[in-house]
Chains A and B, each alone.
Chain A
Amino acid sequence: QMQLQESGPGLVKPSETLSLTCTVSGGSISSYYWTWIRQPPGKGLEWIGYISNIENANYNPSLQSRVSISLDTSTNQFSLTLNSVTPADTAVYYCARSTSWYQNAFALWGQGTLVTVSS
Protein backbone atom coordinates (compact mmCIF):
# COMPACT_ATOMS: atom_id res chain seq x y z
CA GLN A 1 0.00 0.00 0.00
CA MET A 2 1.68 3.18 -1.18
CA GLN A 3 1.92 6.03 1.34
CA LEU A 4 3.19 9.59 1.19
CA GLN A 5 4.78 11.56 4.04
CA GLU A 6 5.77 15.22 4.02
CA SER A 7 8.73 16.47 6.02
CA GLY A 8 10.48 19.77 6.55
CA PRO A 9 10.67 22.82 8.80
CA GLY A 10 7.45 24.02 10.37
CA LEU A 11 8.66 27.61 10.67
CA VAL A 12 10.33 29.71 7.98
CA LYS A 13 11.34 33.37 8.21
CA PRO A 14 10.06 35.92 5.69
CA SER A 15 12.24 36.28 2.58
CA GLU A 16 13.80 32.87 3.17
CA THR A 17 13.29 29.58 1.30
CA LEU A 18 10.70 26.95 2.15
CA SER A 19 11.89 23.40 1.43
CA LEU A 20 9.75 20.30 1.85
CA THR A 21 10.26 16.65 0.94
CA CYS A 22 7.68 13.98 0.26
CA THR A 23 8.80 10.40 0.88
CA VAL A 24 7.00 7.71 -1.08
CA SER A 25 6.82 4.27 0.53
CA GLY A 26 5.23 1.02 -0.58
CA GLY A 27 5.80 1.63 -4.27
CA SER A 28 8.02 3.19 -6.90
CA ILE A 29 8.16 6.87 -7.71
CA SER A 30 9.02 5.94 -11.30
CA SER A 31 5.44 6.32 -12.52
CA TYR A 32 2.55 8.73 -12.01
CA TYR A 33 2.52 12.50 -11.58
CA TRP A 34 3.68 13.89 -8.23
CA THR A 35 2.04 17.07 -7.00
CA TRP A 36 2.21 19.71 -4.27
CA ILE A 37 -0.96 21.44 -3.03
CA ARG A 38 -1.39 23.91 -0.20
CA GLN A 39 -4.22 25.11 2.01
CA PRO A 40 -3.99 28.30 4.10
CA PRO A 41 -5.60 27.90 7.52
CA GLY A 42 -9.39 27.96 7.20
CA LYS A 43 -9.27 28.41 3.42
CA GLY A 44 -9.48 26.40 0.22
CA LEU A 45 -7.02 24.36 -1.80
CA GLU A 46 -4.38 25.75 -4.17
CA TRP A 47 -2.48 23.64 -6.70
CA ILE A 48 1.24 24.49 -6.63
CA GLY A 49 2.54 22.22 -9.38
CA TYR A 50 3.54 18.73 -10.41
CA ILE A 51 6.46 16.76 -11.74
CA SER A 52 6.10 13.68 -13.90
CA ASN A 53 8.11 10.47 -13.73
CA ILE A 54 10.21 11.78 -16.63
CA GLU A 55 10.83 15.01 -14.68
CA ASN A 56 8.56 17.22 -16.74
CA ALA A 57 7.37 19.95 -14.34
CA ASN A 58 4.35 22.24 -14.52
CA TYR A 59 3.77 25.09 -12.06
CA ASN A 60 0.96 27.44 -11.10
CA PRO A 61 1.72 30.76 -12.84
CA SER A 62 0.91 32.58 -9.61
CA LEU A 63 3.99 30.93 -8.03
CA GLN A 64 6.10 30.07 -11.07
CA SER A 65 8.81 32.65 -10.45
CA ARG A 66 9.44 31.29 -6.93
CA VAL A 67 8.75 27.55 -7.09
CA SER A 68 10.64 24.42 -8.10
CA ILE A 69 9.69 20.73 -7.81
CA SER A 70 12.26 17.98 -8.21
CA LEU A 71 12.26 14.18 -8.23
CA ASP A 72 14.85 11.78 -6.78
CA THR A 73 14.22 8.23 -7.90
CA SER A 74 17.20 6.91 -5.92
CA THR A 75 15.54 7.87 -2.62
CA ASN A 76 11.90 7.61 -3.75
CA GLN A 77 11.32 11.26 -2.82
CA PHE A 78 10.17 14.43 -4.48
CA SER A 79 10.71 17.93 -3.17
CA LEU A 80 9.26 21.44 -3.16
CA THR A 81 11.27 24.64 -2.97
CA LEU A 82 9.54 28.01 -2.61
CA ASN A 83 11.74 31.10 -2.53
CA SER A 84 11.23 34.54 -0.98
CA VAL A 85 8.35 33.48 1.24
CA THR A 86 5.95 35.89 2.93
CA PRO A 87 3.30 35.33 5.61
CA ALA A 88 0.84 34.71 2.74
CA ASP A 89 2.68 31.42 2.14
CA THR A 90 1.61 30.13 5.55
CA ALA A 91 -0.39 26.97 4.86
CA VAL A 92 -0.71 23.25 5.24
CA TYR A 93 1.34 21.76 2.41
CA TYR A 94 0.25 18.42 0.96
CA CYS A 95 2.03 16.11 -1.42
CA ALA A 96 -0.11 13.93 -3.64
CA ARG A 97 0.02 11.27 -6.35
CA SER A 98 -2.03 11.08 -9.53
CA THR A 99 -4.66 8.46 -10.19
CA SER A 100 -2.69 7.10 -13.14
CA TRP A 101 -0.29 8.26 -15.84
CA TYR A 102 -3.22 9.60 -17.88
CA GLN A 103 -5.56 10.77 -15.10
CA ASN A 104 -4.02 13.52 -13.00
CA ALA A 105 -6.68 13.65 -10.28
CA PHE A 106 -5.07 13.31 -6.86
CA ALA A 107 -5.74 9.78 -5.69
CA LEU A 108 -3.31 9.56 -2.80
CA TRP A 109 -2.36 12.31 -0.33
CA GLY A 110 0.12 12.78 2.46
CA GLN A 111 -1.21 13.86 5.84
CA GLY A 112 -0.01 17.43 5.27
CA THR A 113 2.48 19.59 7.11
CA LEU A 114 1.85 23.08 8.46
CA VAL A 115 4.43 25.67 7.46
CA THR A 116 4.26 29.03 9.19
CA VAL A 117 6.09 32.03 7.77
CA SER A 118 6.96 34.36 10.59
CA SER A 119 9.93 36.17 12.04
Chain B
Amino acid sequence: EIVLTQSPGTLSLSPGERATLSCRASQSITSGYFAWYQQKPGQAPRLLIYAASSRATGIPDRFSGSGSGTDFTLTISRLEPEDFAVYYCQQYGSSPFTFGPGTKVDIK
Protein backbone atom coordinates (compact mmCIF):
# COMPACT_ATOMS: atom_id res chain seq x y z
CA GLU B 1 0.00 0.00 0.00
CA ILE B 2 1.29 3.47 -0.90
CA VAL B 3 1.39 5.78 2.13
CA LEU B 4 0.96 9.50 1.49
CA THR B 5 2.41 12.06 3.90
CA GLN B 6 1.22 15.67 3.73
CA SER B 7 3.02 18.73 5.06
CA PRO B 8 2.48 20.92 6.84
CA GLY B 9 -0.39 19.64 8.95
CA THR B 10 -1.74 23.16 9.31
CA LEU B 11 -0.93 26.25 7.26
CA SER B 12 -1.93 29.62 8.68
CA LEU B 13 -2.06 32.33 6.05
CA SER B 14 -3.87 35.55 5.20
CA PRO B 15 -6.13 36.17 2.18
CA GLY B 16 -4.05 37.16 -0.82
CA GLU B 17 -1.05 35.10 0.24
CA ARG B 18 0.39 32.14 -1.65
CA ALA B 19 -0.13 28.64 -0.25
CA THR B 20 2.17 25.74 -1.01
CA LEU B 21 1.06 22.27 0.12
CA SER B 22 3.23 19.17 -0.19
CA CYS B 23 2.53 15.48 -0.45
CA ARG B 24 5.14 12.74 -0.46
CA ALA B 25 4.46 9.12 -1.45
CA SER B 26 6.18 6.05 -0.03
CA GLN B 27 6.58 4.69 -3.60
CA SER B 28 6.57 6.22 -7.05
CA ILE B 29 3.05 6.94 -8.32
CA THR B 30 2.24 5.07 -11.54
CA SER B 31 1.69 7.28 -14.58
CA GLY B 32 1.08 10.40 -12.53
CA TYR B 33 -2.25 9.13 -11.25
CA PHE B 34 -2.40 11.71 -8.50
CA ALA B 35 -5.12 14.09 -7.32
CA TRP B 36 -5.87 16.91 -4.90
CA TYR B 37 -9.21 17.56 -3.18
CA GLN B 38 -10.63 20.40 -1.11
CA GLN B 39 -13.07 19.72 1.73
CA LYS B 40 -15.05 22.25 3.74
CA PRO B 41 -16.90 21.38 6.97
CA GLY B 42 -20.07 19.40 6.37
CA GLN B 43 -19.40 19.04 2.64
CA ALA B 44 -18.14 16.31 0.36
CA PRO B 45 -14.63 16.69 -0.99
CA ARG B 46 -14.25 18.51 -4.30
CA LEU B 47 -11.75 17.45 -6.95
CA LEU B 48 -9.27 20.23 -7.73
CA ILE B 49 -6.45 18.54 -9.64
CA TYR B 50 -6.11 15.16 -11.35
CA ALA B 51 -3.27 13.56 -13.30
CA ALA B 52 -0.94 15.56 -11.02
CA SER B 53 -1.40 18.86 -12.89
CA SER B 54 -4.75 18.95 -14.72
CA ARG B 55 -7.38 21.24 -13.24
CA ALA B 56 -10.82 19.71 -12.84
CA THR B 57 -13.85 21.30 -14.48
CA GLY B 58 -14.72 24.68 -13.01
CA ILE B 59 -11.61 25.01 -10.83
CA PRO B 60 -10.09 28.53 -10.85
CA ASP B 61 -6.63 28.91 -12.32
CA ARG B 62 -5.21 30.10 -8.99
CA PHE B 63 -5.03 26.38 -8.16
CA SER B 64 -2.16 24.48 -9.76
CA GLY B 65 -0.59 21.08 -9.25
CA SER B 66 2.89 19.84 -10.01
CA GLY B 67 5.21 16.96 -9.31
CA SER B 68 5.97 13.41 -10.33
CA GLY B 69 7.33 10.19 -8.89
CA THR B 70 7.02 10.57 -5.13
CA ASP B 71 6.78 14.34 -4.60
CA PHE B 72 3.76 16.46 -5.46
CA THR B 73 2.73 20.05 -4.73
CA LEU B 74 -0.52 21.98 -4.73
CA THR B 75 -0.13 25.74 -5.06
CA ILE B 76 -2.83 28.34 -4.48
CA SER B 77 -1.42 31.51 -5.98
CA ARG B 78 -3.54 34.01 -4.04
CA LEU B 79 -5.82 32.78 -1.26
CA GLU B 80 -9.44 33.80 -1.48
CA PRO B 81 -11.69 33.67 1.62
CA GLU B 82 -13.43 30.56 0.26
CA ASP B 83 -10.11 28.67 -0.02
CA PHE B 84 -9.72 28.14 3.72
CA ALA B 85 -10.41 24.43 4.06
CA VAL B 86 -8.76 21.03 4.38
CA TYR B 87 -6.84 19.68 1.38
CA TYR B 88 -6.23 16.00 0.71
CA CYS B 89 -3.85 14.37 -1.75
CA GLN B 90 -4.69 10.99 -3.25
CA GLN B 91 -3.06 8.40 -5.49
CA TYR B 92 -5.05 6.19 -7.84
CA GLY B 93 -2.22 4.48 -9.66
CA SER B 94 -1.95 1.46 -7.37
CA SER B 95 -4.60 -0.44 -5.48
CA PRO B 96 -5.58 0.22 -2.78
CA PHE B 97 -6.11 3.86 -3.67
CA THR B 98 -4.96 5.96 -0.72
CA PHE B 99 -5.39 9.47 0.64
CA GLY B 100 -3.04 11.63 2.65
CA PRO B 101 -4.07 12.76 6.16
CA GLY B 102 -4.85 16.30 4.99
CA THR B 103 -3.49 19.83 5.35
CA LYS B 104 -5.70 22.41 7.01
CA VAL B 105 -5.36 25.91 5.58
CA ASP B 106 -6.71 28.36 8.11
CA ILE B 107 -6.88 32.12 8.44
CA LYS B 108 -3.94 33.76 10.18
Contacts and interface: CB of A to CB of B under 8 A. Distances in A.
A75 interface: no
A18 to B, nearest CB: 19
B99 A94 contact: no
Given A44-B102, A105-B47, A105-B51, A58 B95 contact: yes
Contacts of B50: 99, 103, 105, 107
Q: Is the interface of B mostly helix, strand, loop or mixed?
A: loop
Interface in B53-108: 56-57, 88, 90, 92, 95-102
Interface residues of B, number: 24
A-B complex: 8 closest residue pairs judged by Cβ atoms: A105-B50, A109-B44, A105-B35, A47-B97, A45-B99, A60-B96, A104-B92, A107-B47
10 contacts: A44-B102, A47-B97, A62-B96, A94-B44, A94-B45, A105-B90, A106-B90, A109-B45, A109-B46, A111-B43
Interface of B: 1, 33, 35, 37, 43-47, 50-51, 56-57, 88, 90, 92, 95-102
